[in-house]
Amino acid sequence: MSAQTVMSQFDRNVSAPMSPFLSQDDIDTMAVKVIPVNEKVALPEVLRQAVGCHHRPTLVLVGGASKLSDEDLQRVQAVFTNVLAPLAEQFGLIVVDGGTDAGVMQLMGNARMSIAGTFPLIGVAPAGLVNLPGQPASCEDAADLEPHHTHCLLIPGSHWGDESPWMAEVATLLAADHSSVVMLINGGSITWVDARVNVESQRPVVVLAGSGRAADVLAQAIAGEPVEDERAQPLVASGLLSSVELHQANSMLPKELKRLLRLG
């Protein structure tokens, strides 16, 4: 399938077969611009229509917000409102995440809304796991789209983690010759997959130490401490991982992200 057969919100002249899970009426009524994509070969054209021809530095968000104390959850929320969203707005970053109304995706959407942000916030989610208007997904662990994203690409898949390589590819295409970086916060089993596919793409990963679960295991490994999880060491050995402590995020995280994204 060529890029010209992909239905896009942005080019009504594109002739495309309607997706079996999404009608054009559904697309028109959603706040998020939803774009079904069936093949990776279509991504360059889809992204060109979505965000225009201008490539930009790109921030990829992966992880979660589970099993945090109330105090640490407030700190993580503040990272999005005080650091990540303002940085994206100031420097015109493109932000890529999983697009659903949970975890870091929900936090990023809320932060963008709270600062009246205008930066592109692009979700990438498996079509079989997204609840659409009038068409809830059949899977028990399906999720709604986060309503403050600008776009969401619905990619083939019915398992969480199917989106991981697509997110990495989307970030590569959006950044082009600009820099891109992953922000890893908390996270479970899918976060390990996200970290691996981005490291395979030679993308730096900044770990928020103190945010729990996968992030804390990786932060310990980065610090040279022994960890039991065998997934950590190959990632750290890549030399692409760095960490910032949660309690220092307001002061240290902007510096690290600016350094890796080569921002002024």
pLDDT along the chain (264 residues), means of 10: 35 31 48 93 92 87 90 94 98 97 96 97 96 80 94 96 98 97 97 98 98 97 97 98 97 98 91
Q: Which amino acid, 168?
A: A
What range defines the domain where residue 53 resides? 3-261
Domain count, the chain: 1
Amino acid (1-letter code) at residue 151: H
> What pLDDT is recorded for position 30?
56
Cα–chain-centroid distance for residue 144? 15
- In CATH, what number is assigned to the domain containing residue 154? 3.40.50.450
Determine the pLDDT at residue 53: 63
CB-based contact 37:49 (threshold 8 Å): no
User: Any bridge partners for residue 34, and if so which?
Assistant: 152
- 180 pairs with which residues across the strands? 58
Give residue 97's pLDDT.
98
CB within 8 A of 94, min separation 6: which ones? 51, 56, 57, 58, 59, 88, 119, 120, 122, 174, 175
